[in-house]
Amino acid sequence: MKNQGFSLIELLLALAIMGLIGAVLIPNYGNVQTKTKNAAVKQVVQSLQTSLESYTASLGHYPLENVGIETLATTLKANGDLKQTPINPFTGTQYTDTDPSGKIDYSISNGVYTLKAMGEGNSSELIRLSNQ
């Protein structure tokens, strides 16, 4: 009579190979997610810049205060230059001025504005856009 099935060594070898594959792929998956979220934050900042320019075209000046994203979005929405408050890809909710990751700030001085976005944990600057 023939034995059918796999031996214990064959099963352990297959498990070891799957473990190695998992150990390589799982950390890379986390990096891909972070890169995707960072790219989404950059896109939001570029969209805000377009809305700022539209605001200026209609009113003749940029918003005159140094504010966070929440206040800036409210100002741009009130004028019709922004359709909706952007969603922070790190939190999955609308941007706030106190976001733990993906924070966006707006500052203006002497008619020159700067939009700055931070990455995960607000530890690194992703993008800085200006009208200068």
Q: What is the mean pLDDT of residues 10-16?
A: 93
> On the CB side of 70, how many CA atoms lie within 13 Å of its CA?
8
Residue 27 has pLDDT above 70, yes or no: yes
The pTM (predicted TM-score) of the whole model is 0.77
Is residue 3, in this structure, part of any structural domain at all?
no
Structural domains in the chain (count): 1
- Among positive and negative, which fits the CA dihedral 17, 18, 20, 21? positive
Is residue 20, in this structure, part of any structural domain at all?
yes
Backbone φ and ψ of 82, nearest 5°? -135, 125
Is residue 70, in this structure, part of any structural domain at all?
yes
Is residue 92, in this structure, part of any structural domain at all?
yes
> 3-state secondary structure string, 72-91?
HHHHHHHCCCCCCCCECCCC
Which residues span the domain enclosing 13? 8-130
Residue 39 has pLDDT above 70, yes or no: yes
* ∠ Cα 70 127 44 (to 5°): 45
Mean pLDDT, the chain, whole residue set? 89
DSSP E strands, 15-132? 67-68, 104-109, 112-118, 125-130
Is residue 19, in this structure, part of any structural domain at all?
yes
Is residue 109, in this structure, part of any structural domain at all?
yes
Is residue 85, in this structure, part of any structural domain at all?
yes
If phi > 0 it is left, if psi is from -120 to 50 it is alpha, else beta; for residue 111 that is: left
Is residue 103, in this structure, part of any structural domain at all?
yes
